[in-house]
Amino acid sequence: MVKRFLTKDMLDFEAPDQVKDVIQPQGRPPETDPTLGIRPELSIEVNQKPGTPRHRLVTIGDSLSHGVQSGAIFNTDLSYPMMIAE
């Protein structure tokens, strides 16, 4: 990778000093650890709850996840989480 240097035309002079101190002309290397080194703390109830969860597929998303068409909740059986669950 070619090392680029920070030039004055790349700076916003109204930016706070803490931003100016860390700004670089190239992007940082991508993160490869999906946990970012943070181990989640789970409660005892979650860790030791017996049985099969009621909902084994959970999706977090937007209107596409829910099945919104034309601004209304319609045909939720055609949403991609429903198709995956089937």
- In the beta sheet, which residues pair with residue 72? 69
- 7-56 pLDDT, tens digit per residue, is 777 777 788 888 877 877 777 777 788 788 888 776 555 555 667 766 67
- Token output for 29: 């290397």
Give the DSSP per-residue string, 19-68: HHTT--SSPPPPP--TTTT------HHHHT--S--S-------SHHHHTE
Q: Is residue 83 part of a domain?
A: yes
Q: Is residue 1 part of a domain?
A: no
Q: Is residue 70 part of a domain?
A: yes
Q: Is residue 12 part of a domain?
A: no
Is 71 a residue whose pLDDT tops 70?
Answer: no
The domain total for the chain is 1
The predicted pLDDT at position 24 comes to 78
Domain coverage including residue 74: 57-86
Q: Is residue 37 part of a domain?
A: no
